[in-house]
């Protein structure tokens, strides 16, 4: 893994809230394909308004979605 | 994990996917593409036609040569002159063929794809080469046309006029635009990878 040490926990949060990807994607205003890429961490970044929409819809904090793993970047 | 070295996104949110272009603008770009191709073909043909039909007096006036310096304008000489003139025209024709790709991509709403930008860059290169070749071509033409002139009347013309200078400036401007578009494409590509 050559990531920057940021883990995306969106899939976990979706499961915890029992929310479908389709509904979240529709709420944010992005395609399901892009949401899938975000869930898989296959994006370079996330816009603040996207993060804001996710947090509002899932009633959570950014920290619940993104997690920093110090060792991952060195792997 | 966010993979910063992941390959580019699929075309769903890539600049390659294109932007909406209204019908009139798309039509304009398509017309420009056809015009560029037509001009690319017509320029060399026109040049050859000119050399095969031009009257000696008109040629002497156009080349600013003394009529007596012009030898007999026979067919081989005309063909040779046409060949030398093509030195300056062919790079421009090549540039026009290449810029067609740029207009085609624009018409399809893809202003930032590598193919279109390369077309614009090649157009600038073609024009630049034509600017460089033009004085050389004129010089060689003057030697060729006055080759059979009586002793003391042979001419060597060195030509660098304001048209050539403006064309060089235009080529440089197009090259600069191509460079700016290349940078913009890189930014658009990076921006497309933010969700």
Task: Summarize pLDDT for B172-192 with one digit per residue, the tens.
Answer: 999 999 999 999 988 888 888
Find the domain containing A70 and state its range. 6-74
In a domain, residue A1? The reply is no
Cα B156 to Cα B148: distance, rounded to the nearest angstrom: 13
State yes or no: pLDDT of B1 exceeds 60: no
For B127-173, the pLDDT digits (tens) are 999 999 999 999 999 889 888 777 777 888 888 889 889 999 999 99
Query: How confident is the prediction for chain B on average, in pLDDT?
Result: 86
Quote the number of domains for chain A: 1
Neighbours of A75 (CB within 10 A): 10
The per-residue pLDDT for B18 is 72
The mean per-residue pLDDT over the stretch B96-105 comes to 95
B5, B9, B190 ranked by CB distance to A2: nearest: B5
Does B75 lie at the interface with A, CB-CB under 8 angstroms?
no
Interface test with chain B among A42, A52, A73, A75, by most B beta carbons within 10 Å: A42
pLDDT band at residue A49, thresholds of 50, 70 and 90?
very high
Residue in this structure with the two tokens 């992941």, named with its chain if needed: B6
Nearest chain A CA: its distance from B113 CA (Å)? 20
A3, A30, A50 ranked by CB distance to B2: nearest: A3
E strand or H helix that includes residue A7: strand A6-8
The per-residue pLDDT for B20 is 84
The mean per-residue pLDDT over the stretch B92-100 comes to 97
For residue A35, give the chain B residue with the closest CA. B195
Cα A6 to Cα B23: distance, rounded to the nearest angstrom: 44
The per-residue pLDDT for B30 is 96
The per-residue pLDDT for B69 is 75
- A3, B10: Cβ pair inside 8 Å? no
CATH number at residue A21: 1.10.260.40
A7, A34, A41 ranked by CB distance to B13: nearest: A34
In a domain, residue A47? The reply is yes
ipTM over 0.90: no
- B3, A7: Cβ pair inside 8 Å? no
């Amino acid at each position: 893994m050559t990531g920057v040490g940021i883990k995306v926990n969106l899939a976990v949060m979706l499961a915890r809230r029992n929310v479908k990807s389709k509904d979240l994607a529709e709420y944010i205003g992005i395609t399901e394909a892009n949401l899938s890429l975000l869930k898989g961490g296959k994006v370079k970044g996330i816009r603040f308004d996207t993060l804001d929409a996710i947090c509002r819809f899932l009633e959570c904090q950014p920290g619940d979605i993104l997690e920093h793993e110090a060792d991952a970047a060195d792997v | 994990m966010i993979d910063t070295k992941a390959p580019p996104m699929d075309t769903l949110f890539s600049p390659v996917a294109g932007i909406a272009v209204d019908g009139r603008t798309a039509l304009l770009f398509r017309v420009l593409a056809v015009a560029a191709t037509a001009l690319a073909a017509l320029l060399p043909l026109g040049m050859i036609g000119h050399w095969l039909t031009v009257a000696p007096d008109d040629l002497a006036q156009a080349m600013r040569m003394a009529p007596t310096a012009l030898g007999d304008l026979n067919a081989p000489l005309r063909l040779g002159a046409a060949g030398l003139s093509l030195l300056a025209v062919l790079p421009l024709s090549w540039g026009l063929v290449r810029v067609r790709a740029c207009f085609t991509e624009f018409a399809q709403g893809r202003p930032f794809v590598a193919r279109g930008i390369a077309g614009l860059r090649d157009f600038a290169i073609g024009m630049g080469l034509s600017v460089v070749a033009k004085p050389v071509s004129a010089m060689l033409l003057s030697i060729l046309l006055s080759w059979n002139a009586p002793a003391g009347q042979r001419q060597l013309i060195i030509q660098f006029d304001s048209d050539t200078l403006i064309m060089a400036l235009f080529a440089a401007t197009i090259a600069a635009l191509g460079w700016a578009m290349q940078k913009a494409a890189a930014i658009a590509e990076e921006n497309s990878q933010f969700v």
